Chain A
Amino acid sequence: MALSKKYELKMGPATREAFGKALADVGRKNPDVVVCDADLSKSTNTHFFAKEFPERFIQCGIAESNMVAVGSGLAAGGKIPFVSSFSAFVINKGFEQLRVTAAYPNVNLKVVGTHSGISIGEDGPSQMSIEDLSLACNLPGFTVLAPCDEVSMTAAIHMTAEHVGPVFVRAGRSKAAHVYEPGAEFHIGGSTELLAGTDVAIFANGLLVAEALRAAETLDAAGISARVIDLYSIKPIDRAAIERASKECRAIVVAEEHLKDTGIGSRVAQVTTETTPCVMEFVGVDNTYAESGTPEAVVEKYGLLAKDIVTAVHKVLARKK
């Protein structure tokens, strides 16, 4: 057997860095773009924008609740505000404001949470965002995106600026392998089939996309044909791709750097149960908080590597009729 495509997965910049550079680029294109940060611009990478457009950069201090609601006011006043902080802070401390000042009146607010997931490593669980996608999906009217690499994050930030309506984008701290070639196309509500396959479909996003591609290589060597889909648009979700995978592969594994409870796994399962049910397994953070350590050690201990996806695939195939 042979994989439908060979991915080198050369290491690239972190998606937060891609976000910061893309943000400066949308700032050049659109003078209505303004940026708010809560004393983390050096980490979120909004400093690229701040340096180039200091008059359009609004320092909010360590006060995320106020920052989100100020952003909503800016949006209501006709600007295109991007508010950014660590995902754990902007989504948790700002959730009430995201709900009442952004989602409920449906203002054109853009929220970018960096340092998502447990792969931030050393800083530990207080900074690890493992519930952000679920919370963001619980904001009616929000678009929710979780790109996996430089090319897809850059596209996501441009799409976010152009889209009219509130958007949450998830970015990571650690370096991310190149998955896409420059020029690849993305759209809100879309997904990308990175590898064709017929025995099992693996849906992943963020850092787990590269792990899924590595897992597919291992599975291929064992004679198992795995379809790999990058589910970069969490909401709206690509229902057609999920239904097709369920019908054609009749087994699905969902892998994410997020709590399994209420993560994208449950969203994919919702679509399969509404359309064509199939056996499923889930790879994610399992009802716990992680701990400090190197990013590599942490993701290994908490089961977010290619080998964990391979194990889940064997499990789901054993259940497949």
Chain B
Amino acid sequence: MTKTSNPAELAAISKTVRRHILEMITAAKSGHPGGSLSATELVVTLFFDIMKHDPANPTWADRDRFILGKGHACPVLYSVMAECGYTPVDKLNTFRQLGSIYQGHPDVRFIPALEASTGSLGEGLSVALGMALAARFNGCPSRTFVVLGDGEIQEGQIWEAAMFGAFHKIDNVVAIVDWNKIQLDGFVKDIMPLDPLVEKWASFGWHVINIDGHDIEAVQKAFHEAETVKGKPTVILANTIKGKGVSFMENNPKWHGSAPSKDECELALKELV
């Protein structure tokens, strides 16, 4: 794979990834486009710029780790890992089919290069903290990144983990909240509001960075800032738009978990050229 810090190149990769996301969910006739599209710049920037990893050597001990806490957004992760060379791009359209490595939610049994099997919300942050602690025990420079949904952090375990991470000063973890303001049943503010979210994380002892999660330069800057923070974990609150990149999907709860029809997919792809 070729890594790049060039925002224009990362934007171009994001566009390709968005096209994969739409095509694979359309082919599967099910899946979660909204939250995959909202997290695209975050995951692309991590894998193509920020993280130290090697698709040719996925068990490299000193690699950085990535966990998708919001496992239902796996189309974005599968597309990015495929573009990196971990898995075949031409098999992305087997997503959710029997025997496919591209399971409905991330499953390490099918893709060993995944760091964790996720899908049940609220657990990824704890696993990430455990991995980061293991790296600390092993004297290993690896960092662990975990992308959480904003709906996901309604889970109580997230706040158990938040206390734990701060108390144990686990500064080699970066949590990224894909703050797209929408969950399955509607808008987060109407289901179970999170505000004041910045203050909440800060009061739990985390270093908080509040950014536009589609602004690649801001995303890069946030990850670099996180690296300099010592003695506490960092959370990046990435303000994003659910369904980003496809006009009729943006900010519409309907696209949390419905697949576009073939016609809708074609319409969407026309916006991503």
Q: Which residues of A contact B (CB under 8 A)?
A: 34, 56, 58, 60-61, 63, 65-66, 68-79, 81, 96-97, 99-101, 104-106
Contact = CB atoms under 8 A, between A and B. Distances in A.
B157 A72 contact: no
Given A73-B127, A73-B133, A105-B108, A66 B117 contact: no
Contact of A96 (B120, B130, B163, B164): B120
B199 interface: no
Interface in B106-138: 107-109, 115-120, 123, 126-135, 137-138
Contacts of A61: 160, 163-164, 167
Contacts of A96: 120, 123
17 contacts: A34-B137, A56-B137, A65-B126, A66-B157, A66-B160, A69-B126, A69-B127, A72-B116, A73-B116, A73-B128, A73-B132, A74-B133, A76-B127, A77-B130, A77-B135, A79-B137, A97-B126
Given A58-B168, A100-B117, A73 B160 contact: no
B161 interface: yes
Interface residues of B, number: 31
Given A58-B168, A73-B132, 20 more contacts: A61-B164, A63-B163, A65-B160, A68-B126, A70-B133, A70-B161, A72-B116, A72-B127, A73-B126, A73-B127, A73-B128, A73-B134, A76-B115, A76-B131, A77-B133, A77-B137, A97-B157, A100-B120, A101-B117, A101-B123
B160 A100 contact: no
Nearest to B167: A61
Q: Which of A66, A74, A96 has the most CB of B within 10 A?
A: A66
Contacts of B117: 100-101, 104-105
B146 to A, nearest CB: 10
A97 B133 CA distance: 18
A69 B157 contact: yes
B130 A72 contact: yes
